[in-house]
Structures are given as C-alpha cells and as structure tokens.
C-alpha cells in the first residue's frame, strides 16, 4: 500500500477519533463561533461543488450569521450565477452585511409554513441549482422543496445523523429520482452533510 492509500485507510478506520478530526482541521461545533458548518462540511461542499461545475444557482435555506452564505455567494459570483438565502430573521453579522455581493440576495421569510414559499419554489426549479438545506426542520424543508429540483441539480442536507437520516428521506415523494453522491467522501471528511443529485430522465 502506498503512503497515500495508508492515509485513506487510516481516515476510514475511525470516523470520530479526535486525532483524526485534528488532522483534518475539523473544529468542534461549539468552538466554531460564527459559522454554522464545520471544516469537514466545507471540504465536503468544496468537493461536491467542484465535481459539478455547471451549478450556479445557489439557494441556502437558513442563513443565520451568513458566513456560509458568503462562501456560497462567492462561488455563485465566480460562476456567473446567483445566490439566494432564506431566513425568518435577519441575524447576519455586520461584517457579513458589509461584504454582501451584488449577486447575493437575502430573503426574510418563514419558509416552513404549510404552504411552500413561492419564491423558493421558483428558484429551486431553475436549471443548475444547488440547495443547501440547513433550516429549522430538515425533513420539512426536503419535503417542501427538494423534490422540485430538475435533473442534474443537487441538494446537500446538513446535520445528517442528528436531525435526519436515510429512513427519513422517503418524506420526498420522488426520492427514487435522486442518487446519493460522494457518501464515502462525506464519511472520510467527518462531514455531517450528505448530497443527492436529481437523475437525468431517459427519453
Ligand atoms: C442552523 S441555522 C443556519 C446556519 C447557516 N446555514 C450556516 O451555515 O451558518 C438555521 C437557521 O434557520 C432559521 N429558521 C428556522 N426556522 C425557520 C423558518 N421557519 N423559516 C425560515 N428560517 C428559519 C433560523 O432562524 C436559523 O438562522
């Protein structure tokens, strides 16, 4: 086994070891400060987004401080697309508000009411969409919005294993039309994100 493979095998062995987390630069949630995702999550998001270079319509459900928004918004800008983030409250940090880019849109709206948000539905049914599902109720968000993605669009759900797991995914009526991507990468990176792509339809 070459040294690169040895590292991979080691990383696969113990997914929760604090040494492994240190090695990957993963900061524990409580030490994480103003960003709602960990380093492993960012590495995973980088991986999924770079493997799907046509994605340029970024939608975040749950803005909070807006640091993750800046990361996704910057990618949208670089790719010539747009970024939209939804939250029922505007608690973006002042520094985030000052850095907000012209391609970034913040929508203050309760998106978990019985009737889905028309704005979110319109956005997620566009081509090349990436949804980051990180709001107050993952199952409800997936049920209301992710099924509306069109082929080749992607959604990533956060807090996998804590708030949501594979048994919950059937909340999406058309879940069979999606394929999970990069599951092993998520595990190796200790990420609590998981990703799905909408399958292409065969005519
Ligand atoms: C986990 S935080 C988002 C973290 C953010 N994505 C990040 O990476 O830093 C969840 C956010 O969802 C928002 N939220 C909860 N329920 C909501 C609702 N019904 N409609 C809109 N936003 C909601 C909360 O206000 C909170 O800011």
Q: Is 88 in the pocket of ligand 1 (CB under 6 A)?
A: yes
What integer is the mean pLDDT of 148-177? 96
Residue 132 near residue 158, CB atoms below 8 Å: yes
What integer is the mean pLDDT of 102-129? 97
Q: Is 110 in the pocket of ligand 1 (CB under 6 A)?
A: yes
Atom of ligand 1 nearest to the CA of 132: 6
Residue 48 confidence (pLDDT): 98
Give the global pTM. Answer: 0.88
Atom of ligand 1 nearest to the CA of 36: 9
Confidence of residue 73 (pLDDT cuts 50, 70, 90): very high
Mean pLDDT of the chain: 89
Q: Is 64 in the pocket of ligand 1 (CB under 6 A)?
A: yes
Confidence of residue 193 (pLDDT cuts 50, 70, 90): very high
For a ligand 1 pocket test, name from 88, 104, 158 the mutation site with the most ligand atoms within 8 angstroms of its C-beta: 88
Residue 109 near residue 124, CB atoms below 8 Å: no
Q: Is the model's pLDDT at 16 over the cut of 80?
A: no
Residue 12 confidence (pLDDT): 57
Residue 35 confidence (pLDDT): 72
Q: Is the model's pLDDT at 17 over the cut of 90?
A: no
- For residue 30, what are the CA distances in angstroms to 35, 53, 158? 10, 32, 16
User: Which secondary structure element, helix H or strand E, spans residue 76, and what is its range?
Assistant: helix 67-78
Query: Which residue's alpha carbon is nearest to atom 18 within ligand 1?
Result: 110
Residue 7 confidence (pLDDT): 56
Least confident of 31-40, 75-84, 191-200: 31-40
Residue 8 confidence (pLDDT): 58
Report CA(120)–ligand 1 centroid distance (Å). 14
Report CA(174)–ligand 1 centroid distance (Å). 25
pLDDT tens profile 30-54: 445 667 787 889 999 999 999 999 9
d(CA 85, CA 105): 6
pLDDT tens profile 129-155: 999 999 989 999 999 999 999 999 999
Atom of ligand 1 nearest to the CA of 110: 20
What integer is the mean pLDDT of 158-163? 94
Q: Is 119 in the pocket of ligand 1 (CB under 6 A)?
A: no
Residue among 132, 126, 166, 120 at smallest CA distance from 149: 126
Residue 29 confidence (pLDDT): 47
Confidence of residue 23 (pLDDT cuts 50, 70, 90): low
Report CA(159)–ligand 1 centroid distance (Å). 12
| Domain extent listing, the chain | 56-198
Q: Is 59 in the pocket of ligand 1 (CB under 6 A)?
A: no
Q: Which class does domain 56-198 fall in?
A: alpha beta
């Amino acid at each position: 086994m070459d040294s690169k493979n040895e590292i991979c095998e080691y990383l696969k062995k113990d997914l929760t070891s604090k040494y492994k987390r240190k090695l990957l630069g993963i900061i524990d949630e409580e030490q994480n400060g103003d960003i709602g995702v960990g380093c492993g999550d960012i590495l995973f998001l980088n991986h999924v987004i770079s493997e799907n270079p046509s994605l340029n319509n970024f939608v975040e459900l749950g803005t909070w401080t807006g640091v993750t928004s800046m990361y996704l918004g910057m990618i949208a800008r670089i790719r010539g697309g747009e970024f939209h983030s939804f939250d029922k409250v505007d608690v973006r940090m002042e520094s985030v508000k000052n850095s907000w880019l012209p391609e970034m849109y913040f929508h203050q709206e309760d998106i978990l009411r019985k009737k889905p948000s028309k704005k979110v539905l319109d956005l997620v049914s566009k081509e090349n969409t990436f949804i980051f599902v990180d709001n107050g109720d993952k199952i409800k968000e997936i049920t209301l919005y992710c099924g509306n993605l069109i082929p080749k669009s992607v959604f990533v759900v956060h807090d996998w294993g804590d708030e949501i797991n594979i048994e919950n995914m059937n909340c999406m009526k058309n879940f069979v039309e999606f394929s999970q991507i990069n599951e092993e990468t998520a595990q190796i990176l200790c990420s609590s994100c998981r990703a799905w792509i909408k399958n292409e339809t065969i005519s």
